[in-house]
């Protein structure tokens, strides 16, 4: 049985390069990983007043995370940090107190940019939250994808074999990391 990986995308726009990258990752994932995008765009803005009886979209989101074996975060960087939409989803998943959907789930992070900086700031701000959420996170290889618009071929694949090879290695490392964490 493959590990079910919930993939969260830190961009809501239709032509998101991060989403295009995730679609390309689905095509190269090892047989032991099933990547499923869990949408975060219909979550309301987090409000503690609704934690106890949250809207249906929040309940469905928490169930999707809890039903997964692991979580892959794929995100661009906004103002040197994690896009608000992704942080919002993380916050909903973490509540109510004591009922976090994230606890113990193995995780991995891919950050992207159109420029040369590769979303390093977002990648590491995200990792700060994952420590607190007790999500054992793949350390190596790190995945910083700079100038992503030059790497995708527009047909669901990669322009260069090096990019494909690197990301295949990343996904294989994640597969074995999930196996190790789950025991």
* Contact region with ligand FNR (CB under 6 A), list: 9-17, 28-36, 50-58, 96-104: 9-17
| Contact with ligand FNR (CB under 6 A) among 13, 160, 180, 182 | 13
| Contact with ligand FNR (CB under 6 A) among 29, 40, 76, 106 | 76
Cα separation, 105 vs 65, in Å, equals 9
- What character string, x for contact with ligand FNR (CB under 6 A) and - otherwise, covers 116-145? -x-x--------------------------
> Within a 13 Å sphere around the CA of 42, how many CA atoms are in the beta-carbon half?
11
Q: Which residue has the tokens 């090096």?
A: 162
Query: For residues 125 and 81, is the Cβ–Cβ distance under 8 A?
Result: yes
| Contact with ligand FNR (CB under 6 A) among 8, 18, 93, 95 | 18
Structure token pair of residue 64? 């999707």
Task: Say how many residues touch ligand FNR, by CB under 6 A.
Answer: 15
Taking every pair of Cα atoms in the chain, the longest distance, rounded to a whole number of angstroms, is 49
Q: Which residue has the tokens 């789950």?
A: 182
Q: Is 163 in the site for ligand FNR (CB under 6 A)?
A: no
Q: Which residue has the tokens 């193995």?
A: 106
| Contact with ligand FNR (CB under 6 A) among 68, 94, 113, 137 | 113
Q: Is 94 in the site for ligand FNR (CB under 6 A)?
A: no
């Amino acid at each position: 049985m493959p590990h079910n990986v919930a993939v969260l995308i830190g961009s809501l726009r239709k032509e998101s390069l991060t989403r295009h990258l995730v679609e390309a990752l689905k095509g190269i994932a090892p047989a032991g990983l099933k990547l499923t995008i869990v949408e975060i765009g219909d979550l309301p803005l987090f409000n503690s007043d609704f934690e106890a009886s949250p809207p249906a979209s929040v309940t469905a989101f928490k169930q999707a995370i809890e039903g997964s074996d692991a979580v892959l975060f794929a995100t661009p960087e906004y103002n040197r940090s994690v896009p608000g939409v992704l942080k919002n989803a993380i916050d909903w998943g973490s509540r109510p107190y004591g009922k976090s959907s994230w606890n113990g789930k193995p995780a991995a992070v891919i950050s992207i940019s159109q420029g040369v900086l590769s979303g390093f700031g977002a990648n590491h701000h995200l990792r700060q939250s994952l420590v607190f959420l007790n999500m054992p996170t793949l350390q190596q290889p790190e995945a910083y994808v700079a100038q992503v618009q030059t790497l995708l071929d527009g047909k669901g694949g990669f322009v260069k074999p090096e990019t494909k090879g690197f990301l295949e290695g990343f996904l294989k490392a994640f597969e074995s990391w999930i196996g190790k964490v789950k025991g």
